[in-house]
């Protein structure tokens, strides 16, 4: 955002222990860290990685749903889906902007996505072969995203927290429109109900994986908790999501594809069976069903949009030059 | 990424300010990249006012903003903490006088 030059100057004494201690005290006191404040290099790096991955996820996330815009079953559904996908594009922008305040350029970030150097949420590497998937994505994927994002509204880094507040306000519509689609199908003909059930069967486990590896295998957690980038552990958030979502599914008469799923009266939580982390790792490594297709689509959009960006810049330069010439002529 | 033509030139960054319906002053709401002011306005309208957030938009080139240095924060903003006489609660008005 503003006055980024200051950021560069500060990198020089990035690991001064006294500055680190003062920084931690500010974080502990729930003060927000702002772009030009001193911050440890690791904090900056972690945030750039996390915020840009998050931004990439919003942008790539437009693809599986974009797949159905032209085939939505009614004008109402089409308008809603279009508005949702447009929101996701906006979310990408808010997040890229937040990442840029840390001294990386938009071009750099987009480059990292297109070359495969940066990751995005593995959920978007699954295909959307049926209309029910539009409902399931809204209900489960946006629902899981909301669980993850609400605590991020209190993240110690100001620009990220502010972007998340805006995003969370918009996400609620996404989840509700998704649930409404699933509900319509679940209460429809047997064929429609089957569509909803099939879709739930495909999306349930990938949605649970959205919260990331189990706490015992997660490498970054402790430091990120201390820095207040993260407020809850992966497993805690996953449990919250399951507890909220399972009754919503049962209300629709749907069954979750987990034979071990059961309610524990003593704890008040839904217990789930083992998650297949080998699948998660495969998809993260790039071997999911749609990894190649997603990156190809982003690359194509980037290439085919190049002339628009060039023309817009050329036009702006021409107009600026004309204005300057007119000014000289007038003097 | 395939061709390193003009697109490699960075798009200027703009800060977006919006005045809400409530009549409060323009408020910073985010930033975006655009080649010129006109397109920045258009993009700001598309991205930051999708749900009736405002009735007026300002876009300002980010490079035109001069920000106070966080290092000066104490010098600039600490003195105000001791000036409690700037607040209405500093002054005693007897209860019988009523609300003031
Ligand atoms: Fe989003
Ligand atoms: Fe969303």
Q: What is the reported pLDDT for B75?
A: 87
Contacts of B65 in chain A (CB under 8 A): 2-3
- Helix, strand, coil content of chain B in percent (nearest 5): 40, 20, 40
HEC secondary structure over chain A:
CCCCHHHHHHHHHCCCHHHHHHHHHHHHCCCCECCCCCCCHHHHHHHHHHHHHHHHHHHHCHHHHHCCHHHCCCHHHHHHHHHHHHHHHHHHHHHHHHHHCCCCCHHHHHHHHHCCCCCCCHHHHCCCCCCHHHHHHHHHHHHHHHHHHHHHCCCCEHHHHHHHHHHHHHHHHHHHHHHHHHHHHHCCCHHHHHHHHHHHHHHHHHHHHCCCCCHHHCCCHHHHHHCCCCCCCHHHHHHHHHHHHHHHHHHCCCCCCCCCCEEECCCCEEECCCCCHHHHHHHHHHHCCCHHHHHHHHHHHHHHCHHHHHHHHHHHHHHHHHHHHHHHHHC
The CATH number of whichever domain residue B14 belongs to comes to 3.10.20.520
CB spacing of A1 vs B2 below 8 angstroms: no
The closest CB to that of A302, out of B1, B47, B70, belongs to B1
Expressed in angstroms and rounded, the spacing between residue B57 Cα and the centre of ligand 1 is 24
Q: Could you tell me which residue, A147 or B3, shows the higher pLDDT?
A: A147
pLDDT digits (tens, 9 = 90+) for A161-181: 999 999 999 998 999 999 999
Cα of B88 vs centre of ligand 2, distance in Å, is 45
Q: What integer best gives the mean pLDDT of chain B?
A: 87
Partner residue facing B36 (CB), from A87, A115, A319:
A319
Residue A217 has pLDDT above 90, yes or no: no
Q: Is the pLDDT of residue B34 over 80?
A: yes
A58 C-alpha to ligand 1 centroid (Å): 5
Joined tokens for residue A100: 């840029």
The C-alpha of A102 sits at a distance from chain B's nearest C-alpha, in angstroms, of 14
What separation, in Å, do the N-terminal and C-terminal C-alpha atoms of chain B show? 66
pLDDT for residue A219 is more than 90: no
Q: Kindly report the number of other CB atoms within 10 A of residue A56's CB atom.
A: 24
Q: Which of A87, A90, A315 minimises the CB distance to B35?
A: A315
Q: Could you give the CA distance from residue A182 to residue A173 in angstroms, rounded to a whole number?
A: 14
Q: Any idea which of A184-188, A271-275, B17-21 has the lowest mean pLDDT?
A: B17-21
User: How many domains does one find in chain B?
Assistant: 1
B7·A1 Cβ contact <8 A: no
- What mean pLDDT comes out for the span A73-84? 97
pLDDT for the residue numbered A3 = 39
Contact B70 A2 (CB under 8 A): no
- B4 pLDDT band (50/70/90 cuts)? very low
| Domain span holding position B79 | 3-97
| Subunit contact A315:B7, Cβ cutoff 8 A | no
Q: What local confidence, expressed as pLDDT, does residue A1 receive? A: 42
Query: What separation, in Å, do the N-terminal and C-terminal C-alpha atoms of chain A show?
Result: 35
Which residue in A90, A115, A163 is closest to B50 by CB distance? A90
Q: Is a pLDDT exceeding 90 seen at residue A76? A: yes
Average pLDDT, chain A: 93
| Band (B71; pLDDT cuts 50, 70, 90) | confident
Task: Please report the pLDDT score of residue A6 as a whole number.
Answer: 43
Question: Kind and range of the H or E element at B41?
Answer: helix B37-48
């Amino acid at each position: 955002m503003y006055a980024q030059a200051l950021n560069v100057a500060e990198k020089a004494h990035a690991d001064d222990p006294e500055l680190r201690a003062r920084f931690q005290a500010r974080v502990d006191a729930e003060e927000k860290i702002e772009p030009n404040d001193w911050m440890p290099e690791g904090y900056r790096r972690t945030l750039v990685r996390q915020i840009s991955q998050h931004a990439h996820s919003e942008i790539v996330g437009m693809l599986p749903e974009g797949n159905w815009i032209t085939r939505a079953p009614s004008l109402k559904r089409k308008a809603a889906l279009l508005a949702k996908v447009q929101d996701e594009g906006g979310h990408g922008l808010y997040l890229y902007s937040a990442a840029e305040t840390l001294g990386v350029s938009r071009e750099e970030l987009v480059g990292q996505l297109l070359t495969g150097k940066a990751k995005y949420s593995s959920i978007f590497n699954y295909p959307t072969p049926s209309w029910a998937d539009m409902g399931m994505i809204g209900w489960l994927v946006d629902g899981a995203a909301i669980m993850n994002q609400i605590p991020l509204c209190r993240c110690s880094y100001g620009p990220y927290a502010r972007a998340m507040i805006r995003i969370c306000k918009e996400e609620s519509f996404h989840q509700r429109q998704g649930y409404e689609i699933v509900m319509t199908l679940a209460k429809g003909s047997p064929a429609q109900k089957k569509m909803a059930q099939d879709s739930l069967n495909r999306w349930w486990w990938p949605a649970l994986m959205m919260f990331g590896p189990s706490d015992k295998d997660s490498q970054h957690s402790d430091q990120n908790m201390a820095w207040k980038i993260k407020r809850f552990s992966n497993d805690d958030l996953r449990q919250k999501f399951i507890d909220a979502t399972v009754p919503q599914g049962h209300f629709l008469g749907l069954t979750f594809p987990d034979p071990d799923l059961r309610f524990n009266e003593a704890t008040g939580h839904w217990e789930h069976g083992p998650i297949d982390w080998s699948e998660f790792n495969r998809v993260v490594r790039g071997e999911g069903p749609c990894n190649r297709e997603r990156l190809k689509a982003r690359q194509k959009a980037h290439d085919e949009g190049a002339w628009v960006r060039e023309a817009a810049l050329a036009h702006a330069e021409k107009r600026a030059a004309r204005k300057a010439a007119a000014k000289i002529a007038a003097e | 990424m395939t061709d390193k033509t003009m697109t490699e030139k960075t798009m200027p960054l703009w800060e977006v300010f919006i005045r809400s319906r409530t009549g409060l002053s323009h408020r910073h709401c985010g930033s975006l990249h655009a080649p010129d002011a006109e397109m920045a306005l258009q993009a700001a309208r598309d991205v930051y006012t999708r749900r009736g957030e405002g009735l007026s938009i300002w876009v300002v080139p980010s490079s035109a903003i001069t920000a106070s240095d966080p290092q000066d924060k104490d010098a600039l903003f600490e003195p105000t903490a001791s000036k409690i006489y700037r607040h209405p609660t500093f002054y005693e008005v007897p209860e019988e006088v009523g609300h003031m």
